[in-house]
Amino acid sequence: MSSPLVLQRDLFPFKAVAGYLNGASRAPQLKAVAAAAQHALHWRTENAGMPIPEFFGPVQEARESFARLIGAKEAERVALIPATSYGVSTVAKNLPVGKGDNIIVVEDQFPSNYYAWSVLCADAGAELRTVKRPAPGSTGSWSEHLLDAIDENTAAVAVANVHWADGSLFDLKALRARTNDVDAWLVLDATQSIGAMPFDVEDVQPDALIAGGYKWLMGPYGCGYAWYGPRMDNGQPIEENWINRAGSEDFRNLVNYQDEYRPLASRYCVGQQSNFLMLPMQIAGLAQVNAWGGDRIQAYCANLWSVITDQLQELGVGVPADRAHHLVGLSLPAGMNRDRLVAEFNRRGLHVSYRGDAVRVSPNVYNTEEEMMQLLMAIAKARG
């Protein structure tokens, strides 16, 4: 059994993480990630060309590191992508859907996992079915309502593992079982979960798992990862580039055009995937997240919340019962002055996000119990 995590603040610049309870928006930059970028930039300054193996080796290293993080047996099922929307659009291009079918999403889903399905349904004459968040006091969980919405005409369920606005968790195993019953695809946006909580892709077996890399995966802005299951093995990429074709390692024969792609998800990797500056940063971020481990990150964040949860509820603040610990949407009591609350947060140097009616608090292993207490005191002060 691995030892519990202790405060990891020394791995980041102090100014970047002090009071930073907003990791769901963008990760602070690890010192190791910055060092990787500086080393790569220095190398590029001193070298005009790039050795051919460097187009492929670092890409494979990043794929293997992400595969290890999600428990994937085959790194070749991982594609390097520039954004969640790119990975979702790739699935949408390959999903069989026709008139009378439906694709299911949930209320207030992040736009990158919504627009592609909206356009696809409009083009195909299908229904985009949105499952609303259960009203307070209603029966059944959000996951149960989602399961009830699936029928024999469902082509796909496209949801997040953790809802980006409030941290709501969905029962992925139950969703997989139900989608299997009706031969529907399960597409997961894991941007707000992978890197902060454990996940086993071999256990859940989605058809696609997609994650932006600049949040919990500690990478730079403009990177992401997609794992594609067997249904995507012979699909069509959304772009055609030289490096994803068979034999692309042999630069002398690139003009001998190939119909065959590289194996499995390689066909879906973005062009210019061999980014000399971003890839070293991605690899450094993934290495650190793998070293921490999602289970230990969740345990660390759960301990932070244990310090203040009871007091928050005494103040009338709603704290979801079934939630992730790294991303929690707090429901404020009626009548609380939002402007006053923002001022209290600012005065204490606390950084959070506001999503709809919720205050989204997303701590990580660089945060302290004292910062959580400052959060509590800010809310108490604003409540009056």
SS3 for 297-347 is HHHHHHHHHHCCHHHHHHCCCECCCCECCCCEEEECCCCCCHHHHHHHHHH
CB contact set of 384 (below 8 Å; sequence gap of 6+):
337
Quote the pLDDT of residue 321.
82
Q: Pairing state of beta strands 127-131 and 78-81?
A: unpaired
Q: Which residue numbers in the chain have pLDDT < 50?
A: none
Cross-strand pairs, 248: none
Quote the pLDDT of residue 355.
79
What are the pLDDT digits (tens) for 193-228?
A: 999 999 999 999 999 999 999 999 999 999 999 999
The answer to whether 192 and 161 have CB atoms below 8 angstroms apart is: yes
Quote the pLDDT of residue 142.
93
Taking each helix axis as running N to C, give the angle between helix 57-70 and helix 278-292, from 0 to 180 degrees, rounded to the nearest 10: 30
Distance (Å, whole) CA 115 – CA 369: 39
Quote the pLDDT of residue 193.
97
CB contact set of 67 (below 8 Å; sequence gap of 6+):
73, 74, 75, 77, 78, 227
CB contact set of 362 (below 8 Å; sequence gap of 6+):
21, 22, 23, 24, 25, 326, 327, 328, 352, 353
In the chain, the amino acid numbered 220 is P
What token pair was written down for 154? Answer: 């469902």
Quote the pLDDT of residue 1.
60
What token pair was written down for 374? Answer: 């400052």
The answer to whether 223 and 99 have CB atoms below 8 angstroms apart is: no
- Right CATH for 40-291 from 3.40.640.10, 1.10.760.10, 3.40.50.720, 3.40.50.300: 3.40.640.10
Distance (Å, whole) CA 193 – CA 163: 9
Residue extent(s) of CATH 3.40.640.10 domains in the chain: 40-291
The answer to whether 171 and 164 have CB atoms below 8 angstroms apart is: no
Quote the pLDDT of residue 197.
97
- Right CATH for 9-29+293-383 from 3.30.2010.10, 3.40.50.150, 3.90.1150.10, 3.40.50.2300: 3.90.1150.10
Quote the pLDDT of residue 136.
78
Tokens 């068979």, located at residue: 246
Residue extent(s) of CATH 3.90.1150.10 domains in the chain: 9-29+293-383
CB contact set of 74 (below 8 Å; sequence gap of 6+):
67, 264
Distance (Å, whole) CA 35 – CA 319: 38
